[in-house]
Amino acid sequence: MNNPTLSIISVNYKSWSVLEKCLQSFQQYPPALDYEIIVIDNNSQDGQFDRFQQQFPQIKLIANTGNHGFSNGCNLGADHAKGDYLLFLNPDVILTQSKAIDAMMRFAQQHPQVGITSCRRINPKGKPERELAFLHLWLNTGWMRALYKLWNKKKLQIKFPDHADIWYPDWVSGSVILIRADLFLNIGRWSQNHFWMYSEDPDLCKKVRQQGKEIALLRHVELKHAHGGASRRNPQTTAITKSEVVTSQHVFIQKHAKGFNRIALHIFTFSNTLTAWTLRTLISLLIFWTPQFKASLLTLMSIIRYYISALMRKSWKSKRLNSSKV
């Protein structure tokens, strides 16, 4: 296909089984528009690349030089894209009969004031994932968001009514992001020099909003999302991903906050993180040597190592930004 309307970009790292289900869902519920699928493999090195390429010859399967992170993989996919629109789609997302991709494309084409379009995501239990997301830097922890929602319950119900088909949140998850290719280039693409994994999606949405564009979430169409299915396979992997969440929170603060507010946010995030993971580890210890305890302990150790490393390197960024392996 020479000129597809849409380029669908997915980043894979040892997630072939969930990616296979994703691609099979395209065969079951194919979008009506012209599209191409680009899969970037972030150097899985598990012997599956050639087999998968033979199994799905219709997609563009591209090998990255290393596991340089989600943002880097997305940008590499965009470099090979030919579509006027780009849809960044996690490999653990599955299409449904609601035709969400066609609906998002129609909406984006009819609403040029919208910079990023997404849709409702349903978890494996059939329940919607968190739809309301805030860019306020002090709302980067669950309990702070809960207090904010409780305090502003009436205002939020007016702004985001349950019956509405469309919400305009501050940002949407990077698991499903539709954006015009020219706008994507104008805002400087994904910030691959800042984020290895996590917080790159609010960062992208923030850059879009700075261009005067809106973020739209379509709630009348849906995709299934096995959240974490592409990254959380064992305690060691869990420790890496959870510690990278903390890393990216600090990078996001450093990138978007200023002055005393930046210092206060770093201190708050540091103290909240260590307190939360220490308590979680101690509580899971009461259940003796369970996978949950091992994952919590490994995560706490990984977070402590990150803080020591950040102090020594004088940088909040992940060391994995310059690494080719996890």
Does residue 70 have a pLDDT over 80?
yes
Mind listing the pLDDT tens digit for each residue in 271-323?
999 999 999 898 888 776 677 888 889 999 999 999 999 999 999 999 988 65
Decide: 253 and 262 in contact? Cβ < 8 Å: yes
Question: What is the mean predicted confidence (pLDDT) over 263-277?
Answer: 96
135 or 307, higher pLDDT: 307
pLDDT of residue 311: 95
| Domains in the chain: ranges and CATH | 6-225 (3.90.550.10), 235-322 (no CATH)
Query: Which residue type, as a one-letter code, is found at position 223?
Result: L
pLDDT of residue 307: 97
Is 14 in a helix, a strand, or coil?
coil
1, 38, 43, 264 from 58: Cα distances, Å: 10, 10, 21, 50
Residues 6+ apart with CB under 8 A from 73: 11, 40, 42, 64
Question: What is the mean predicted confidence (pLDDT) over 250-274?
Answer: 96
Helical spans, DSSP H, in the chain: 16-28, 49-55, 70-79, 100-110, 142-151, 153-159, 181-186, 200-209, 235-256, 259-285, 291-313
pTM to 2 decimals? 0.91
Integer Cα distance of 302 and 298 in angstroms: 6
pLDDT of residue 325: 41
Residue percentage of the chain with pLDDT more than 70:
95
Instruction: Using only the alpha carbons of the chain, give its radius of gyration.
Output: 20
> Counting Cβ atoms within 10 Å, is residue 171 exposed (0-12), middle (13-18) or buried (19+)?
buried
pLDDT of residue 293: 84
pLDDT of residue 324: 41
Question: What is the mean predicted confidence (pLDDT) over 236-264?
Answer: 93
Query: Which residue type, as a one-letter code, is found at position 308?
Result: I
Q: Which of 46-50, 124-128, 164-168, 211-215 has the lowest mean pLDDT?
A: 124-128
Does residue 250 have a pLDDT over 60?
yes
Q: How does the average pLDDT of the chain come out, rounded?
A: 91
Question: What is the mean predicted confidence (pLDDT) over 226-246?
Answer: 74
- Residue among 223, 228, 261 at smallest CA distance from 244: 228
pLDDT of residue 131: 76
